[in-house]
């Protein structure tokens, strides 16, 4: 069975913990880590076996799209899911 090994890169702890709890009991998914900043993520993404990043679109320390581009250039097989944040709660 193929194992998905994502990391979660998001500055909001509640969202990171929520995603972690969803993935914890899923067969074939092993969360490799969670990070607050893009700089932290760049260090973690060099590990072997990483194949998915869940990336916040509004990081505090750098542009998320630039980070995604850098990560894809260093690992073309890496899949990146951009997580959007909406501050308007009237929907």
Q: What pLDDT does residue 9 have?
A: 87
Is residue 77, in this structure, part of any structural domain at all?
yes
CB atoms within 10 A of CB 38: 22
Q: What pLDDT does residue 50 have?
A: 77
Q: What is the 3-state secondary structure (H, E, C) of the chain?
A: CCCECEEEECCCHHHHHHHHHHHHCCCCECCCEEECCHHHHHHHCCCCCCCEEEEECCCCCCCHHHHHHHHHHHCCCCEEEEECCCCCCCC
CATH of the domain at 75: 3.40.50.2300
Domain span holding position 59: 6-83
Which among 54, 52, 71, 53 is positioned nearest to 15, based on CA atoms?
Answer: 54
Is residue 53, in this structure, part of any structural domain at all?
yes
Q: Which two tokens stand for residue 55?
A: 């990336």
What pLDDT tens digit does each residue of the chain (91 aa) get? 577 888 888 888 888 888 888 888 788 888 877 777 888 777 776 666 678 888 888 888 889 899 899 888 888 888 999 988 666 667 5
Q: What pLDDT does residue 17 have?
A: 87
């Amino acid at each position: 069975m193929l194992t998905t090994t994502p990391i979660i890169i998001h500055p909001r702890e509640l969202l990171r913990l929520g995603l972690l709890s969803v993935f914890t009991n899923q067969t074939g998914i092993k969360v490799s880590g969670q990070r607050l900043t893009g700089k932290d993520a760049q260090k973690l993404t060099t590990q072997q076996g990483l194949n998915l990043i869940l990336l916040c679109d509004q990081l505090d320390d750098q542009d998320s799209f630039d980070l995604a581009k850098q990560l894809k250039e260093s690992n073309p097989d890496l899949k990146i899911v951009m997580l959007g944040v909406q501050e308007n709660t009237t929907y």
